[in-house]
Structure formats: structure tokens, C-alpha cells
Amino acid sequence: QQQVKQSPQSLIVQKGGISIINCAYENTAFDYFPWYQQFPGKGPALLIAIRPDVSEKKEGRFTISFNKSAKQFSLHIMESQPGDSATYFCAASVPSGYALNFGKGTSLLVTP
């Protein structure tokens, strides 16, 4: 049973554009929502994360928007670059949770 639903499955954005990836969850016990970035042949690496007590978190060109009432959160990549081309995973975990529940991933291609 998929606990975190992610869309779109793939995304093509022109250089300089905004990439937006959306996730939704059902379990209201989730209290930690990270985004991971994975390049081919590598393991996922933490990009940015948010807790439900804030509605937005920004780190450089990457922003998480969080809507607790809608149980949705999204990743915005501003000024997308070809080097951002990778697979992005949203995830969620419960307090003191010992595992991340991942979305199915979004393959992002940023064209020059």
C-alpha cells in the first residue's frame, strides 16, 4: 500500500524554468517530510526536508511547500539547470520512525 503518492512520474523542463513535483499522504502521524535526489548509479541523497509546523522551507533554488490540511507537499526547483536532471523522491516518516515511506519518484530532465 502506497503511503505517499507522488506526481508526475516524469517531467521535462527547459533550463531556467520552474520544476514542480507534488506529493500527497494519508497518515496524519507523519511528521517528517524529506525530498531525496538520486543520480544514475548513485544512492539517494537528502535535498531538503520539512516538518509540519511550517508551511514553507527554502534552501537556495529548492523550496518545499507544505499544506497540512490538504495533506500535500511539493518541491519547487527555481531556475532549473541541466545538472538538476535526476530522479526526485518525496518521503515521509512517523516520530521516532525507523523507516522512510517513499513516493514512486519523478524523473526530471532539464533541457539546455
Partner 1 sequence: DTAVSQTPKYLVTQMGNDKSIKCEQNLGHDTMYWYKQDSKKFLKIMFSYNNKELIINETVPNRFSPKSPDKAHLNLHINSLELGDSAVYFCASTSPWGTEAFFGQGTRLTVV
Q: Which is nearer to partner 1, 20 or 94 (CB)?
A: 94
Q: Is 46 in the site for partner 1 (CB under 8 A)?
A: yes
Q: Is 100 in the site for partner 1 (CB under 8 A)?
A: yes
Name the DSSP class of 98.
Answer: S
Q: Is 49 in the site for partner 1 (CB under 8 A)?
A: yes
Q: Is 87 in the site for partner 1 (CB under 8 A)?
A: yes
Query: How many positions of this chain bind partner 1 (CB under 8 A)?
Result: 21
Strands (E), the chain: 4-7, 10-14, 19-25, 33-38, 45-50, 56-59, 62-67, 72-77, 86-92, 101-102, 106-111
Q: Is 34 in the site for partner 1 (CB under 8 A)?
A: yes
Q: Is 105 in the site for partner 1 (CB under 8 A)?
A: yes
Q: How many residues does the chain have?
A: 112
Amino acid at site 28: T
- Find the shortest distance in angstroms from Cβ 16 to partner 1: 26
